[in-house]
Amino acid sequence: MSEKMNQALAFLREKYGCPAGEIVNGNAGPELVLPDGKKIRLLPWRVERRFVELKKIIDGKTLEDVSTFRFASFSAGGDPVKTAARELDLAAYLADSPIRRIFAVRSGDAACNILARFANGMSASVECGSRLPAGADPMDRHEIIARRGVASDRTVDTQVPQSSIYEWTDKGLTTFTDVDTELFGLPNDQIWIVRAAFAVLMKPDLGPVWNQAAADMEKYAAAVVKSDADNKPVTL
């Protein structure tokens, strides 16, 4: 795991006075190793600021009576089933309810479309794909539809993520979206891993919750594969 990420974590720990921990590569993704040897699965998307704000919008009742989550995530390579499991975890986190049923259709290892239902009755659709050309930035969209209001991380009348800076030079167009003053310089995906580790160190109660969520994600992935294979919904 990147030395830079652990340096950044050490910076935050020193600044805010929190206990020790080290970010390492786990089998299924980044983990935080505590001084007693315990390992916590890190769920960086749960601390990503756009999702923190969407969660606030739901929990603070800016949206009332959420009905449906419409999520999409496309990448250059990767496993769409794993991507789907991550998106389902995000939806379950925002819904504050476990997933009870999954129905999935897959197209080999290229794409995966899912309908899910939560214990609280809410519904979700998740679209995933892995066939963006190499080097392309990931594309995603998260929309939450409620009786009162719709919230999204994409602005109205756009299809693709926006950037903070667009730079045109003789080398073409370069874009930048910097999101964190304290961790400026780290790539955004690493920033969220560091922030996730920091969140666990600041709130140790998160550890067991996240490990349980990580175990649930494995169940979601298995359910996606089984549902597609059997052409039947899978109840969890």
Q: Which of 29, 161, 204, 233 binds other proteins (CB under 8 A)?
A: 161
Do the beta carbons of residue 164 and residue 177 sit within 8 Å?
yes
Sole window of 25-33, 80-88, 144-152, 219-227 interacting with other proteins (rule: CB under 8 A): 144-152
For residues 181 and 231, which CB has a smaller minimum distance to other proteins in the complex? 181
Do the beta carbons of residue 62 and residue 118 sit within 8 Å?
no
Should residue 149 be labelled a site residue for other proteins when binding is judged by CB under 8 A? Answer: yes
Residue 49 beta carbon to other proteins: minimum distance, rounded to whole angstroms? 5
Residue 80 beta carbon to other proteins: minimum distance, rounded to whole angstroms? 25
Name 125's bridge partners: 70, 115
Sole window of 27-35, 52-60, 82-90, 99-107 interacting with other proteins (rule: CB under 8 A): 52-60
Site for other proteins, residues 3 to 32, rule: CB under 8 A: 15-17
Residue 162 beta carbon to other proteins: minimum distance, rounded to whole angstroms? 4
Taking residues 57 to 76 in sequence order and writing x for each that binds other proteins by CB under 8 A, - otherwise, the string is: x---xxxx------------
- The binding site for other proteins (CB under 8 A) comprises 15-17, 49-50, 53-54, 56-57, 61-64, 146, 148-156, 161-170, 176-182, 184
